């Protein structure tokens, strides 16, 4: 079968066919269960196979797949090492319920980097925090923590710069931090 052009979150034609088949099967089971005594175990096993992304169901009842709440994921990846956040962000298994969009650092004229700094990665995580906490209705309560993480990420970057660039990098980090900390509520949250 021909596949739809893949983009994060899009399903193939085959996957859509499996979903349609599963819906028909569940409808048939719901109708047949009272008459034939088809048990919950069959429906659970079939449902478990589809909730895991396809494949053949294992023998016995499948355990439901527990998905972590979005707020817990955002909290965890804002607290994690920046490299762990970036790896999760790049993973095909990242949670599609979250907003992964970014405009990097939208600092007028400067952008995300300059001669003595590159805050691109810090800006990715900052946008992740702002956009997702906004969607979750937690922006006002968590904005300061996101801004503080942004400063820490930028300072970590500056600490790894050549010694000749560090002071300027730290100054830029402070300027970026002050801008988002004082004016971030005007940014449309991300």
**Per mean pLDDT, which range of 13-17, 80-84, 167-171 is the poorest?**
13-17
Residue 77 or 19, more confident:
77
171 in the same domain as 81:
yes
Which of 39, 66, 93 is at the close of a domain?
A: 66
- Among residues 126, 157, 181, 189, which one is catalytic? 126
pTM, two decimal places: 0.65
Contact 130, 106 (CB under 8 A): no
Which stretch of 21-30, 102-111, 161-170, 180-189 has the lowest confidence by average pLDDT?
A: 21-30
Task: Return the closest-CA partner of residue 61 out of 82, 32, 39, 79.
Answer: 39
> Are 17 and 77 members of one domain?
no
Q: Are residues 59 and 78 in the same domain?
A: no
CB 77 within 8 A of CB 128: yes
Q: Identify whether residues 96 and 155 lie together within a single domain.
A: yes
Are 74 and 166 contained in the same domain?
yes
Do residue 28 and residue 43 come from a single domain?
Answer: yes
Same domain, residue pair 92 and 120: yes
Domain that holds residue 171: 70-186
Q: Look up the CATH number of the domain holding residue 94.
A: 1.20.90.10
Q: How far apart are the first and last CA of the chain?
A: 39
For tokens 């660039």, what's the residue?
165
From 17, 50, 66, give the residue that closes a domain.
66
Q: How far apart are CA 154 and CA 176, in angstroms?
A: 9
Domain co-membership, 53 together with 111: no
Give the count of domains, the chain. Answer: 2
Q: How far apart are CA 173 and CA 145, in angstroms?
A: 16
Instruction: For 122-174, write each residue's pLDDT tens digit.
Output: 999 999 999 999 999 999 999 999 999 999 999 999 999 999 999 999 999 99
Is the pLDDT score of 31 beyond 80? no
Q: How confident is the model at residue 66 (pLDDT cuts 50, 70, 90)?
A: confident
Are 45 and 112 within one domain? no
Known catalytic membership, residue 157? no
């Amino acid at each position: 079968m021909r596949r739809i052009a893949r983009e994060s979150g899009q399903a193939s034609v085959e996957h859509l066919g499996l979903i349609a088949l599963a819906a028909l099967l569940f409808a048939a089971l719901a109708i047949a269960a009272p008459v034939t005594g088809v048990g919950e175990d069959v429906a659970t096993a079939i449902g478990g196979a589809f909730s895991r992304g396809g494949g053949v169901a294992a023998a016995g009842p499948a355990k439901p797949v527990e998905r972590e709440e979005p707020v817990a994921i955002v909290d965890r990846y804002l607290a994690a090492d920046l490299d762990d956040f970036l790896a999760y962000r790049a993973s095909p298994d990242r949670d599609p319920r979250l907003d992964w969009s970014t405009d990097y650092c939208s600092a007028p004229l400067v952008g995300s980097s300059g001669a003595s700094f590159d805050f691109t990665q810090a800006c990715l995580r900052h946008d992740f925090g702002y956009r997702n906490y906004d969607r979750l209705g937690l922006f006002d309560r968590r904005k300061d923590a996101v801004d503080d993480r942004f400063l820490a990420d930028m300072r970590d970057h500056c600490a790894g710069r050549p010694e000749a660039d560090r002071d300027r990098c730290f100054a830029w980090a402070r300027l970026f931090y002050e801008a988002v900390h004082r004016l971030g509520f005007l940014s449309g949250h991300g």
